[in-house]
Amino acid sequence: MKVIFRPRGPTRDHPLLRWSLTGIALGFIGLFLVLPLATVFTEALGEGWRAALDAITDPEAQSAIRLTLLAAAIAVPLNALFGIAASWAVAKFDFWGKGFLVTLIDLPFSISPVVSGLIYVLMFGLQGWFGDTLRDHDIKIIFALPGIVLATIFVTFPFVARELIPLMTDQGRDEEEAAVSLGAGGFSTFRRVTLPNIKWGLLYGVLLCNARAMGEFGAVSVVSGHIRGLTDTMPLHIEALYNDYHYSAAFAVATLLALLALVTLALKSLLEWRYADEISAVHHH
Amino acid sequence: MSLVIEKVQKRFADFEALRGVSLSAPDGAFLALLGPSGSGKTTLLRILGGLEHADLGHVGFAGLDWLTLTARERRAGFVFQQYALFKHMTVAKNIAFGLEVRPARNRPARAEIKRRVEELLSLVQLENLGGRYPSQLSGGQRQRVALARALAIEPRMLLLDEPFGALDAKVRKDLRAWLRALHKQLGLTTVFVTHDQEEALELGDLVAVMNEGRIEQIGTPDALRNRPATPFVAEFLETVAPPPRPYNVVALH
């Protein structure tokens, strides 16, 4: 009998190690990501399709959905613009205090969302710094849409910039300089050279920003005032339903919120699959 | 119509890159800026290209007050050390870029741009590669695309930053001969930066040796070899390998 000894390749790990690592990773993902998500979906249908549908079509729920989408629709483009501007400045120019600016951009990540919300109440609330002025001019910020949008912008401030700064720093200024030497103006250079080079990072940042904007609870909770059917966003509405013991209704709306997040992720995967050639052309240099 | 650089100075924060550089070169010259790293040669090239501002000094070229023009007004074709090709564009799009960003009133028609791109592709001997992306090309091919892209704007002057720096020895030799021939064919005033003495002496018909932000000597390769003006020039050129003698080399091995 001939014993065939098949040596392992030098870069291959022992099968046992490979399988146990894969197992741990899958188990972890299952336990902490898939299982809770599955629970949300099954709980939503705990009282049947009919009840779940009713919970979503309820006028207060509809109002919460509209408000969430509206706040995200305002906050995300603004933060995308800001993120591009900030990372453009940080990556392509040298100026005094650059390090401080980068730290400042990260501030919303390190501050508790509740505190962020309170900042706006302190500034724009009735007893706040600008309270009197705002009341005199009949402008409502706190307990209204502007406050919710402001809080959302603050909390989701860093997502796009965080995604783009390392990317743009890594890419350097060479291509922009080449464009300028070929006669392109500032805006033309940005549109034809910079933007195409960052668009995947930008898309990813915008999707993350969007997911967070729709899901933001803490900061929005402070500034919204919880007026049902008026200033409740989806996360706030879910909490209200849950506190009122409407479990399956709460989970039904939660399902919708989770679905919105899953749709954005699916959209991202779809675009990456569709433009795979282009992405690899840009990233392999 | 010659290139005249007068007392150009440039300072970066705490580093004096150019300490008053003056030189002149006739129209159509192939000028090499030779020097060790930190000697200011790249800074001078970037100032000529409009990518950096001089603190002081004056540059005249083609009857123009060169430094008061913006980069786009100068029409200086710049070839970057790492080529800086637009990664997301095909080779043809890269070459067409300088024509496509022109304001509508003096932008050539689409068919004309296409014709120009074809012409340039054949000039740099990349006829069938217009549809490729830069990542699909070899180093030498990228270099030639960068050159074609710079030539597309019908430059008044060609500026090359370490044109062969990123290439291996064999490709470097071939490209050198090719670039020399191209310069002869186009007759464009060309300035290139290199730290390789052999390259400067072989390629340039005028060589400016730079050190610590100053020009040590400027002259023809022969003049530099035979009559180095300063100890620095003598020492810097001494490290040049003698021209290869094939039989001796074989015998030595």
Query: What does pLDDT average to over chain A?
Result: 87
pLDDT higher than 70, residue A189: yes
The model's pLDDT over B192-250, given as tens digits with 9 standing for 90+, comes to 999 988 889 989 999 999 999 999 999 999 999 888 999 999 888 876 555 555 554 44
- pLDDT at A53 > cutoff 50: yes
- Write down the pLDDT at residue B248: 46
Interface with A, mutate which of B85, B88, B191 (most A CBs under 10 A):
B88
pLDDT of residue A274 exceeding 90, the answer is: no
Please report, for the domain that includes residue A104, its CATH number: 1.10.3720.10
pLDDT(A283) > 90: no
According to DSSP, the residues that pair with B31 across neighbouring strands are B191, B206
Å from A80 to nearest chain B CA?
22
- Coil, strand or helix at B64: strand
Q: Is B166 on the interface with A (CB under 8 A)?
A: no
* The pLDDT value given to residue A14: 82
Min distance B94 CA to chain A CA atoms (Å): 10
Question: Residue A37 domain-assigned?
Answer: no
Sheet bearing B214-219, strands edge to edge: B76-79, B157-161, B189-194, B30-34, B206-211, B214-219
**Cα(B194)–Cα(B204) distance, rounded to whole angstroms?**
10
> How far is the C-alpha of B219 from the C-alpha of A185, rounded, in Å?
38
Nearest-by-Cβ selection for B49 from A181, A185, A284 = A181
Which tokens go with B45?
């090239």
Interface membership of A95 toward B (CB under 8 Å): no
- Closest C-alpha among B106, B147, B2, B114 to residue B61: B2
pLDDT at B242: 52
pLDDT at A149 (0 to 100):
94
Contacts of B14 in chain A (CB under 8 A): none
Q: Across the A/B interface, how many CB contacts are shorter than 8 Å?
A: 75
Q: Please check the confidence at residue B34 and state whether its pLDDT lies above 60.
A: yes
Mean pLDDT of B112-133: 92
Tens of pLDDT, residue by residue over A26-40, are 999 999 888 988 888
Determine contact: A110 vs chain B, CB below 8 A: no
For the stretch B49-76, pLDDT in tens is: 999 999 999 999 988 999 999 888 899 9
What pLDDT does B33 receive? 95
Tell me the average pLDDT across B113-139.
Answer: 92
Query: Is A143 part of a structural domain of the chain?
Result: yes
Please give the pLDDT value at position B3.
92
Residues of chain B neighbouring A180 (CB-CB closer than 8 A): 50-51, 71-72
Residue A36 falls within a domain, yes or no? no
ipTM for this prediction = 0.86
pLDDT band at A284 (very low <50, low <70, confident <90, very high): very low
Number of domains in chain A: 1
Nearest residue, CB atoms, B101 vs list A184, A196, A285: A184
Which residue's structure tokens are 């500026």?
A: B159
Which ranges constitute the DSSP H helices of chain B? 41-49, 71-74, 91-100, 110-123, 139-151, 169-186, 197-203, 221-226, 231-238, 246-252
pLDDT at res. A7: 64
Kindly report the pTM of this predicted structure.
0.78
pLDDT tens, residue by residue, B161-183: 998 877 888 888 888 888 888 89
CA atoms of B82 and B143, how far apart (whole Å)? 8
Structural domain that includes position A220? 48-283
At residue A4 the predicted structure's pLDDT band, cuts being 50, 70 and 90, is low
Least confident stretch, A11-15, A40-44, B1-5, B242-246: B242-246
Of B71, B88, B101, the CB nearest to A278: B88
**Confidence band, pLDDT 50/70/90 cuts, at residue A143:** confident
What pLDDT, on the 0 to 100 scale, is given for residue A68?
Answer: 94
- In chain A, what residues touch B89 (CB-CB under 8 Å)? 196
Q: Indicate whether A39 belongs to any domain.
A: no
- The predicted model gives B79-86 an average pLDDT of 92
